[in-house]
């Protein structure tokens, strides 16, 4: 018993040190975001702000289109999430519960797109957006993201576990597949929908390269693109306090979603990898 306690003490000790290292960048961000600009130019660097101020937040929100960036990120992430819930759950239902020709072939085709690094598609997709006149529009930010092979896979894993009696009794009651899906299966898959929503929201909220390519106008920038351009536009004299305030705001939504939906997120990550 004494041995066990010792082991556990060592575990706590090591994990605490690790946690401090992992959390340190966030701590420095918080400290700087709440400190006046002059404090960012002090040495040693501050870990705990001595004169707390919210001026950085005020300034970052008023000095540029920050609300607009936040709004853009929110619109894009919400539409993407909503779209993926619809398209993925519908397709997943078909793959899990219906029998049709080429079912496995199409499923394999979908899965195979997951193996291809997204960067391979960048040039043709960009030129497609260019030809459609979608550069600098919400369409370019949202539409290509409405579909997800991963989402289909995730939802399918859930639909195949539901009992066969569900659709049998519904069929006897005269429901067609459309009704069976929307009235029975879709509501039942709420846990998976939550998992998928968290995934697609956070992925979309954090995505950078694609918005960077298709958006030039300041008014349509998403938060990550805006933050990146803050950093480079202030390159002469970087106002770190201001940047940290903006970064802190940008991190909050995905943080909240993760903290409240942690269980679903972790289950989504491990689906099909460990449990299978």
Partner 1 sequence: MKKVINNDTFWAFIFIFPSLLGILIFNFIPTLSSFYISFTKWNLLGNPQFVGFKNYISLFSDPLFYKVLYQTFIFVFCTVFIEVILSIFIAVLLNSLIIGKTFFRTIYFLPVITSMIAGSILWNWIFDPAYGFLNYFLSFIGIEKISWLADENWALFSIILVSIWKNIGYSTVLIVAGLQTIPNECIEASKIDGASKYQTFFKIVLPLLSPTIFMVTIVSFINSFQTFDSVYILTSGGPKNSTNIMVYWLYKNAFEYYNMGKASAIAYVLFFIILLFTLIQWNIRKKWVFYEK
> Minimal distance in Å, beta carbon 98 to partner 1?
4
CB of 163 to partner 1, least distance (A): 18
The least CB distance from residue 81 to partner 1, in Å, is 15
> Quick check: 88 and 151 in contact, CB under 8 A?
yes
Q: Which of 149, 170, 193, 194 binds partner 1 (CB under 8 A)?
A: 149
Min separation Cβ 209 and partner 1, Å: 6
Which of 34, 69, 93, 186 is the binder for partner 1 (CB under 8 A)?
93
Cβ closest to partner 1, residue 28 vs residue 74: 28
What is the closest distance, in whole angstroms, from the C-beta atom of residue 59 to partner 1 in the complex?
17
Nearer to partner 1, 67 or 208 (CB): 208
Which region, judged by CB under 8 A, interacts with partner 1, from 10-18, 49-57, 63-71, 187-195?
Answer: 10-18
Question: Considering only residues 153-212, where is the footprint of partner 1 by CB under 8 A?
Answer: 176-178, 181, 202, 205-206, 208-209
Three-class secondary structure assignment of the chain: CHHHHHHHHHHHHHHHHHHHHHHHHHHHHHHHHCCCHHHHHCCCCCCCCCCCCCHHHHHHHHCCCHHHHHHHHHHHHHHHHHHHHHHHHHHHHHHHHCCCCCHHHHHHHHHHHHHCCHHHHHHHHHHHHHHHCCCCCHHHHHHHHHCCHHHHHHHHHHHCCCCCHHHHHHHHCCCCHHHHHHHHHHHHCHHHHHHHHHHHHHHHHHCCHHHHHHCCCHHHCCHHHHHHHHHHHCCCCCCHHHHHHHHHHHHHHHHHHHHHHHHHHHHHHHCCCCCC
Q: Applying CB under 8 A, does 15 fall inside the site for partner 1?
A: yes
Would you count residue 106 as binding partner 1 (CB under 8 A)?
A: yes
Q: Hey, which residues between 72 and 91 contact partner 1 (CB under 8 A)?
A: 86-88, 90-91
For position 122 contacting partner 1 by CB under 8 A, the verdict is yes
Of the ranges 56-64, 74-82, 125-133, 134-142, which one interacts with partner 1 (CB under 8 A)? 125-133
């Amino acid at each position: 018993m004494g041995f066990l306690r010792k082991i556990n003490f060592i575990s706590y000790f090591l994990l605490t040190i690790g946690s401090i290292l992992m959390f340190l960048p966030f701590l420095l961000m918080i400290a700087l975001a709440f400190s006046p600009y002059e404090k960012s130019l002090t040495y040693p660097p501050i870990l705990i702000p001595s004169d707390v101020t919210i001026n950085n937040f005020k300034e970052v929100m008023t000095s540029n289109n920050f609300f607009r960036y936040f709004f853009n990120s929110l619109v894009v992430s919400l539409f993407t999430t909503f779209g993926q819930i619809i398209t993925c759950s519908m397709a997943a239902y078909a793959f899990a519960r219906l029998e049709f020709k080429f079912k496995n072939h199409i499923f394999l085709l979908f899965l195979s797109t997951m193996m291809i690094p997204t960067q391979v598609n960048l040039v043709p997709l960009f030129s497609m957006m260019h030809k459609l006149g979608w550069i600098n529009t919400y369409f370019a930010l949202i539409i290509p993201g409405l579909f997800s092979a991963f989402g289909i896979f995730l939802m399918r894993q859930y639909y195949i576990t539901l009992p066969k009696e569900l659709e049998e009794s519904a069929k006897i009651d005269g429901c067609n597949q459309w009704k069976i899906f929307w009235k029975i299966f879709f509501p039942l898959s709420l846990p998976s929908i939550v998992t998928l929503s968290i995934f697609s929201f956070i992925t979309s909220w954090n995505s950078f390269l694609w918005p960077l390519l298709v958006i030039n106008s300041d008014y349509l920038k998403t938060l990550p693109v805006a933050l990146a351009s803050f950093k480079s536009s202030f390159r002469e004299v970087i106002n770190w306090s201001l940047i940290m305030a903006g970064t802190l705001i940008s991190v909050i939504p995905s943080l909240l979603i993760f903290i409240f939906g942690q269980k679903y997120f972790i289950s989504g990550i491990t689906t099909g990898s460990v449990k299978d």
